[in-house]
């Protein structure tokens, strides 16, 4: 486990406890996601946050001005703390760690489903039910399209990969043929 992952997990646990005390668990995740998306998509914001010549105080003020009305004080304070300690690069990792921490406590898991074509909402619901029964958790499905997959799909829940893709089956068949010769 990398140092960044450990740091993100510590911050995520603390943020989750504060969010749970205030009854803002889901809202906190949504707010974190909005901040991660905004900072991740805009190269200027990323450059601003990474610039060593800009003080942490200026960075914090800019983030609070940008997200002040859109995020709770616990989210803004956590992001500010990361920036003050020079860990602004961990903001995206914080969201991932928060999802893991909240999911383990609330009995929820996120499934990243990769398919050759976009999945319908009905099919996503079926997948969520199937993998929910398998894991014993409430599963949220996020679909990613990868045209190179050829057919079938892969499902990643935590560290476990379920590979039902045509590419995966062909790879397994190829390996099996190579070892039997």
pLDDT 10s digits, 5-50: 788 899 999 999 999 999 989 899 999 999 999 888 888 888 898 8
Same domain flag for 41 and 129:
no
pLDDT class of 124 with cuts at 50, 70, 90: very high
Residues 88 and 8 in one domain: yes
Domain termination site, one of 39, 73, 103: 103
CATH code of the domain covering residue 88: 1.10.520.20
pTM value is 0.73
**111, 141 contact by CB (below 8 A):** yes
Half-sphere exposure of 92 (CA within 13 A, CB side): 8
Range of the domain at 137: 107-180
Residues 159, 92 share a domain? no
The answer to whether residues 18 and 62 belong to one domain is yes
Q: What is the mean pLDDT of the chain?
A: 89
Do 142 and 82 fall into the same domain?
no
CB atoms within 10 A of CB 140: 15
pLDDT score, position 174: 87
| Number of domains comprising the chain | 2
77 shares its domain with 128? no
pLDDT of residue 2: 56
- Beta bridge partners of residue 162, listed in sequence order: 155
Residue 35's closest CA among 25, 47, 46, 24? 46
Instruction: Return the pLDDT at 167.
Output: 81
**Of the residues 52, 68, 103, the one at which a domain ends:** 103
Residues 17 and 69 in one domain: yes
């Amino acid at each position: 486990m990398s140092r960044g992952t450990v740091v993100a997990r510590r911050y995520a646990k603390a943020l989750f406890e504060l969010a749970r005390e205030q009854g803002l668990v889901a809202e906190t995740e949504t707010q974190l996601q909005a901040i991660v998306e905004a900072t991740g998509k805009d190269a200027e914001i990323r450059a601003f946050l990474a610039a060593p010549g800009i003080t942490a105080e200026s960075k914090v003020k800019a983030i609070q001005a940008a997200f002040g009305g859109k995020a709770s004080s616990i989210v803004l304070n956590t992001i500010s703390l990361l920036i003050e300690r020079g860990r602004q690069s961990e903001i995206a990792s914080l969201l991932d760690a928060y999802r893991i921490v909240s999911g383990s406590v609330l009995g929820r898991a996120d499934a990243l489903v990769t398919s050759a074509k976009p999945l319908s909402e009905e099919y996503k619901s079926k997948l969520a039910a199937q993998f929910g029964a398998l894991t014993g958790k409430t599963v949220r499905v996020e679909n990613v399209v990868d045209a190179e997959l050829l057919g079938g799909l892969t499902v990643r829940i935590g560290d476990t990969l379920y590979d039902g893709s045509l590419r995966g089956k062909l790879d397994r068949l190829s390996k099996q043929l190579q070892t039997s010769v």
